[in-house]
Amino acid sequence: MSDDVRRVIRSPRGTELSCQGWQQEAAYRMLHNNLDPEVAEHPDKLVVYGGTGKAARDWPSFDAIARTLQGLKQDETLLVQSGRPVGVMRTHEWAPRVLLANSNLVGDWATWEEFRRLEALGLTMYGQMTAGSWIYIGTQGILQGTYETFAAVAAKRFGGSLAGTITLTAGLGGMGGAQPLAVTMNDGVAICVDCDPSRISRRIEHRYLDVQASSLDEALRLAVEARDARRPLSIGLLGNAADVLPRLLAMDAPIDVVTDQTSAHDPLSYLPLGTAFEDMRDEAAKDPAGFTQRARESMARHVEAMVGFMDRGAEAFDYGNSIRGEAKLAGYTRAFDFPGFVPAYIRPLFCEGRGPFRWAALSGDPRDIAATDRAILDLFPENESLARWIRLAGERVAFQGLPARICWLGYGERDKAGVRFNEMVASGELRAPIVIGRDHLDCGSVASPYRETEAMLDGSDAIADWPLLNAMVNVASGASWVSIHHGGGVGIGRSIHAGQVAVADGTELAARKLERVLTNDPGMGVIRHVDAGYDRAAEVAAERGVPIPMADGTPR
Amino acid sequence: MSDDVRRVIRSPRGTELSCQGWQQEAAYRMLHNNLDPEVAEHPDKLVVYGGTGKAARDWPSFDAIARTLQGLKQDETLLVQSGRPVGVMRTHEWAPRVLLANSNLVGDWATWEEFRRLEALGLTMYGQMTAGSWIYIGTQGILQGTYETFAAVAAKRFGGSLAGTITLTAGLGGMGGAQPLAVTMNDGVAICVDCDPSRISRRIEHRYLDVQASSLDEALRLAVEARDARRPLSIGLLGNAADVLPRLLAMDAPIDVVTDQTSAHDPLSYLPLGTAFEDMRDEAAKDPAGFTQRARESMARHVEAMVGFMDRGAEAFDYGNSIRGEAKLAGYTRAFDFPGFVPAYIRPLFCEGRGPFRWAALSGDPRDIAATDRAILDLFPENESLARWIRLAGERVAFQGLPARICWLGYGERDKAGVRFNEMVASGELRAPIVIGRDHLDCGSVASPYRETEAMLDGSDAIADWPLLNAMVNVASGASWVSIHHGGGVGIGRSIHAGQVAVADGTELAARKLERVLTNDPGMGVIRHVDAGYDRAAEVAAERGVPIPMADGTPR
Ligand SMILES: NC(=O)c1ccc[n+]([C@@H]2O[C@H](COP(=O)([O-])OP(=O)(O)OC[C@H]3O[C@@H](n4cnc5c(N)ncnc54)[C@H](O)[C@@H]3O)[C@@H](O)[C@H]2O)c1
Ligand SMILES: NC(=O)c1ccc[n+]([C@@H]2O[C@H](COP(=O)([O-])OP(=O)(O)OC[C@H]3O[C@@H](n4cnc5c(N)ncnc54)[C@H](O)[C@@H]3O)[C@@H](O)[C@H]2O)c1
């Protein structure tokens, strides 16, 4: 079966069960959905997104997981070790139906080199964040986060809108492909560089990107025209960012915001200068060490140009792909002169337990998402930016795989939404259950010193107890599946993070589980930031009643 | 309060509760018990054992944990981040009452240097294995592990008994001091070298060591006499192992087993040749680099002698102190000619889900342990080595803190024992509930490439998914507290491991929880070794019905 590369995987729809209950069914459908050709970047290789983020170790493992889920009872739990099903344990009805651990290595061995060696031996897989935890919903997931980030950039520097500004970025992959639409949703102009022509045409096809420029000069001309007309426009440009950015800098291009989402976290996936895109895979395979070195040197030139734009007044930020770290490894000393996006824009949201709350309709019916959209607008009428997002998303976002929605909600909000969805399933207002999960990029589920926990107030960036407590608390609260991952986003050795998914199947038990999971999970974000000394988090904890044993501020 | 260094902590005894229920009470008592002066090495510094393994971050944290446990409800869960209580979450009655994560760091930051820096900032603590997870029971734990290892040596080479053999070892410290008694409990003769006279007299005082020889010749004569009479005897010998072992080899001493537990893992604690014991600390402080070099050279001579005995037919093994690695650093090429103790003796036990099962009597009454000892003998009448241990332990082991017992049990055995103890609590045969836990050095709860997972058949030594799955499955099965630790035993960057403790309080619910936890926890050991390709584990899984989705041996 492993050679059956043309297999097409798609989630079942409707109310007929393949499994013994909706919790198992939800895992079964979301595993399949992660590999839907509309959702996954390379479904034939089980790769969902983010470089080589996979949903299962290999096809035999995929089949064994699916088969085991079909037979799994209401008090059993399937264990998945880096995409391979390794056991079934008898637990109880409040316990998760699946527990997953992906890509975890002991610290001294936590390098890409060792990881790749073990992966080649068939002993592990790269789970990224929502790939190996079966809750990727296509580019909409990152679209919302990217929308939030650019909205925060606009609020900080440009009076609340990107109208009349030009953003320069690269990378139109699974995550980076959200950038052009996020910028235009904020009324700005974006130039987006990618070296892979298929990525550009795919983003145009999905209406995330407006046009492709045939040359650097044309891209700049289109951008300036649109900017001057205060007209949103996104422009794709084929090229190597390590070449294009320095040239734009030399041309003194009027860039207001500069960032990047190439796959810099994995040097074997970043196209070095001097290599043709077509030869990239071969060269990387032939000489991984040499390729890595050349990729890093190119990243250094790339980052140097970003710093150049910053020096000329642009808002520059690292968008979580480790490009600063890699550039520094190549000897570029100013690599960390611009900040990561989290301390710059996202942390204030984390202090309120805010983060990417997402859900999918297991019915497969887009009307179920439309109904939940209305429910969200009803529940939080005072939140304008949320309302604007829900409206624009309804208009602009094409579903990939099962219909799904995402929006950022905080402590005290997520549980309300979850319980409401569950009522809607119970009443028949929705056609089938809803699964509710999130990215691992969340307020209290990740330790990642180059991204989510960069520059914590108390210096606790590298403390990894928090994601582990997050995973355990989700297991203890009634989530349907829970995962602990290593190396997502920023790469092996650089992050530890946890995920949870809970199922609103309309039962009373599900309501109680959802209430707890969707309170405790964002609650981890609040207590993590209280502990680190953020005043806003302490306020939120006090106002909303998050119990903290040492909230009296006992000194350390 | 932090300066109140004379505070004496001791667990409450009896049946009067300080907390809202026995699960919370058990955590409360075991936290206190870990710091009982009879149990802890440096209770004033909250240090329990193993270097700086602590029970709580600091005294204010200790007090806040104790206070929070007192008020904690039956459906609440306390979160402890490296010894500091950081939150309380509403969960449910099957959920653990406490979740702990200790010393965890993101891979690239997982070094002693960074750890010490963060510890100095008050952001973390070293949890070792059972220190930060509140289930240390004093030196009995070490004694049992050492007994088990020598029993396995006996089984492998000498027909099940060490009678008529001589074991040569060095190091009579905190761990190594268990060696003489473990050998004599297996009916063997031991010569134990240490350079510190106080360690020898202390072991004699505690009845772990029988006699001290005044010379090498006397030691050998006593050993040979006892061996020929097949009489157990342990003999202390003052000296430097790097000097004594080569001399014994030159004398052609009839050594059957050779190992070592000097503090070789830290070259500044190993006495080099040419340095008097009295001058050791000063010289190490004055010139650490030079001292390290000399210590390593001495270790090379020490290991060379061990290899010499092996060449003449002795059973030689490394007992987890890195002496092979250090000798190799000094240029001795044959250092790794003998194996570590885990692959040699312990792994076959791990394949059966065997590991250190321990329990303590919350009543504080030694008669409760005597009753459980009888129950164990009743339950497993066919296991001779277990029966011998239980009998000898009853005679020879002095309790420290709450009365406690440890023995190695496997898959299908631990749950039986747990459920039986619970019945005994219910019937009133025991005076109060029993807590049941284990060390993290266990079959399926640790990733530690220099010790527990050294030289795995499939090369999966550094894969850390297993301890994380272990922790989550224990949370999902009804354990009373669960912990995930980093760096225990072999140090920061070198291990990730998990612990669980469950409480037999005599209720029906506890019986169901114990059945699941004590099946699933050793079950992790079985599936971990099945997955790594061990035939014995596959046999055990098949015989005892451990469900494994890919047990058909689908190739990777
Ligand atoms: N900001 C976030 O929240 C967040 C979240 C997850 C991941 N990330 C990181 O963002 C990065 C992008 O993720 P992705 O899923 O889109 O990855 P991806 O692999 O799907 O896409 C990367 C894109 O970069 C292009 N690329 C590679 N080298 C290039 C070069 N030299 N010049 C121009 N284009 C080049 C590739 O052609 C590809 O289209 C990753 O490093 C990921 O870890 C960020
Ligand atoms: N096997 C296991 O499961 C296991 C578990 C934990 C630790 N260890 C390792 O075992 C070793 C011993 O641990 P410990 O807690 O007993 O350490 P310790 O520091 O308490 O004792 C070490 C002893 O070695 C003696 N010593 C040092 N150099 C000597 C020399 N040249 N000749 C003779 N004696 C010498 C010291 O005087 C001391 O008594 C450590 O390296 C530890 O890491 C093994």
Q: What is the ipTM of this complex?
A: 0.92
Nearest to A462 among B105, B475, B547 (CB): B105
In the block, tokens 């502990």 appear at A531
Active-site residue (options: B192, B351, B407, B443): B407
Q: How far is the CA of B263 from the centre of ligand 2 (A)?
A: 3
pLDDT at A249 over 50: yes
Report how far residue B110's alpha carbon sits from residue B113's, in angstroms, rounded to the nearest whole number: 9
Q: What percent of chain A has pLDDT over 70?
A: 98
Residue B133 φ then ψ, to 5°: -120, 15
pLDDT at A328 over 90: yes
Region A7-34: mean pLDDT is 97
Q: A165: pLDDT confidence band, cut at 50, 70 and 90?
A: very high
Active site residues of A: 407
CA distance B496 to chain A (A): 6
DSSP annotation of B211: E
Q: Output the pLDDT for position A5.
A: 54
Least confident interval from A162-171, A383-392, B203-212, B462-471: A383-392
Report how far residue B318's alpha carbon sits from residue B495's, in angstroms, rounded to the nearest whole number: 18
Between positions 100 and 129 of B, the ones with CB within 8 A of A are 101-111, 114, 118, 121-124
Ligand 2 site, residue B141, Cβ cutoff 6 A: no
* Pocket, ligand 1, Cβ cutoff 6 A: A 41, 49-51, 145, 170-176, 193-196, 199, 240-242, 261-265, 269-271, 319-321, 441, 489
Report how far residue B75's alpha carbon sits from residue B89's, in angstroms, rounded to the nearest whole number: 9
In the block, tokens 């497969």 appear at A364
Q: Best mutation site among A194, A196, A262, A281 for ligand 1, i.e. most ligand atoms within 8 A of its Cβ?
A: A262
B513 Cβ contact partners less than 8 Å away, ≥ 6 residues apart: B94, B477, B478, B479, B480, B502
A229 in contact with B at a CB cutoff of 8 Å?
no
Contacts of A107 in chain B (CB under 8 A): 105, 107, 110-111, 486-487, 492-494, 496
Report how far residue A372's alpha carbon sits from residue A377's, in angstroms, rounded to the nearest whole number: 9
Report how far residue B422's alpha carbon sits from residue B406's, in angstroms, rounded to the nearest whole number: 17
Show binding-site residues of B for NAD(+).
Answer: 50-51, 128, 174-176, 194, 199, 240-241, 261-265, 270-271, 319, 489
DSSP annotation of B83: T
Q: How many other C-beta atoms lie within 10 A of the C-beta of residue B374?
A: 13
Q: A1: pLDDT confidence band, cut at 50, 70 and 90?
A: very low
Region A273-277: mean pLDDT is 97
CB B191 within 8 A of CB B210: no
Q: How many other C-beta atoms lie within 10 A of the C-beta of residue A357?
A: 25
Helix (H) or strand (E) holding B304: helix B288-311
Our CA angle for B89, B94, B98, nearest 5°, is 45
Q: How many other C-beta atoms lie within 10 A of the C-beta of residue A161?
A: 14
Question: Closest-CA residue in chain A for B531?
Answer: A86
The residue contributing the CA closest to ligand 1 atom 34 is A194
Choose the mutation target among B465, B470, B515 for the interface with A, i.e. most A CBs under 10 Å: B465
Nearest to A495 among B67, B106, B475 (CB): B106
For residue B352, give the nearest of B467, B474, B523, B473 by alpha carbon.
Answer: B523
pLDDT at A350 over 50: yes
Q: Output the pLDDT for position A142.
A: 83
Ligand 2 site, residue B179, Cβ cutoff 6 A: no
Q: How far is the CA of B264 from the centre of ligand 2 (A)?
A: 7
Helix (H) or strand (E) holding A497: strand A496-504
Q: Is B195 a catalytic residue?
A: no
Report how far residue A492's alpha carbon sits from residue A126's, in angstroms, rounded to the nearest whole number: 9
Q: Output the pLDDT for position B435.
A: 98
B419 Cβ contact partners less than 8 Å away, ≥ 6 residues apart: B511, B514, B515, B518
- Residue A370 three-state SS: helix
A486 in contact with B at a CB cutoff of 8 Å?
yes
pLDDT at A2 over 60: no
Q: How far is the CA of B172 from the centre of ligand 2 (A)?
A: 7
CB A503 within 8 A of CB B124: no
Q: What percent of chain A has pLDDT over 90?
A: 89
CB B425 within 8 A of CB B504: yes
Residue B194 φ then ψ, to 5°: -145, 150
Q: Across-strand partners of B167? A: B190, B257
User: What is the position in ligand 1's atom list of the atom closest to the CA of A264?
Assistant: 41
Considering every ligand atom shown, identify the ligand nearest to the alpha carbon of residue B494 and give its number. Answer: 2
What tens digit of pLDDT does each residue of B72-86 get? 999 999 999 999 999
> What is the gyration radius of the CA atoms in chain A, in angstroms?
22
What tens digit of pLDDT does each residue of B246-280 get? 999 999 999 999 999 999 988 999 999 999 999 99
Contacts of B465 in chain A (CB under 8 A): 81-82, 101-104, 124, 484
Report how far residue A128's alpha carbon sits from residue B263's, in angstroms, rounded to the nearest whole number: 40
Mean pLDDT score across all residues of chain A: 95
Ligand 2 site, residue B340, Cβ cutoff 6 A: no
Contacts of A458 in chain B (CB under 8 A): 121, 123
DSSP annotation of A472: H
- Residue B512 three-state SS: helix
What tens digit of pLDDT does each residue of A39-89 get? 999 999 999 998 899 999 999 999 999 999 999 999 999 999 999 999 999
Ligand 2 site, residue B171, Cβ cutoff 6 A: yes
Nearest to A107 among B86, B96, B110 (CB): B110
Q: Output the pLDDT for position B556.
A: 46
pLDDT at A9 over 70: yes
Q: A556: pLDDT confidence band, cut at 50, 70 and 90?
A: very low
A68 in contact with B at a CB cutoff of 8 Å?
yes
Q: Output the pLDDT for position B553.
A: 56
CA distance B78 to chain A (A): 9
A519 in contact with B at a CB cutoff of 8 Å?
yes
Q: Mark residue B331 as left, alpha or beta (left: phi above 0; alpha: psi -120 to 50; beta: remaining).
A: left
What tens digit of pLDDT does each residue of A333-343 get? 999 999 999 98
Q: Are strands A76-81 and A98-102 parallel, antiparallel or unpaired?
A: parallel
User: What is the position in ligand 1's atom list of the atom closest to the CA of A129?
Assistant: 6
Contacts of A84 in chain B (CB under 8 A): 531, 550, 556
Domains detected in chain A: 143-338 (3.40.50.10730)
Ligand 2 site, residue B321, Cβ cutoff 6 A: yes
Q: How far is the CA of B237 from the centre of ligand 2 (A)?
A: 15
Report how far residue B71's alpha carbon sits from residue B184's, in angstroms, rounded to the nearest whole number: 48
Choose the mutation target among A465, A484, A516, A528 for the interface with B, i.e. most B CBs under 10 Å: A465
Report how far residue A85's alpha carbon sits from residue B554's, in angstroms, rounded to the nearest whole number: 11
Region A23-37: mean pLDDT is 98
pLDDT at A169 over 50: yes
CA-CA-CA-CA dihedral for A264, A268, A270, A272, to nearest 10: 130
pLDDT at A272 over 60: yes
Q: Output the pLDDT for position B174.
A: 85
Q: Output the pLDDT for position B5.
A: 54
Q: Across-strand partners of B105? A: A463
Q: How far is the CA of A172 from the centre of ligand 1 (A)?
A: 7
Region A12-23: mean pLDDT is 98
CB A246 within 8 A of CB A304: yes
Nearest to A464 among B77, B104, B463 (CB): B104
**Is A524 in Cβ contact with B494 (below 8 Å)?**
no
Report how far residue A359's alpha carbon sits from residue A134's, in angstroms, rounded to the nearest whole number: 12
- Residue A257 three-state SS: strand
**Is B67 in Cβ contact with A550 (below 8 Å)?**
no
Q: Output the pLDDT for position B6.
A: 75
B77 in contact with A at a CB cutoff of 8 Å?
yes
Q: Output the pLDDT for position B171.
A: 97
Between positions 493 and 512 of A, the ones with CB within 8 A of B are 493-496, 512
- Going from the C-alpha of B387 to that of each of A31, A532, B279, B439, the distances in angstroms are 49, 51, 46, 21
Residue B239 φ then ψ, to 5°: 165, 175
Number of H helices, E strands in chain B: 19, 17
What tens digit of pLDDT does each residue of A494-547 get? 999 999 999 999 999 999 999 999 999 999 999 999 999 999 999 999 999 999
Question: Closest-CA residue in chain A for B89?
Answer: A520
Q: How far is CA A479 from the centre of its chain?
A: 20
Sites in chain B below the pLDDT cut of 50: 1-2, 555-556
Considering every ligand atom shown, identify the ligand nearest to the alpha carbon of residue A489 and give its number. Answer: 1
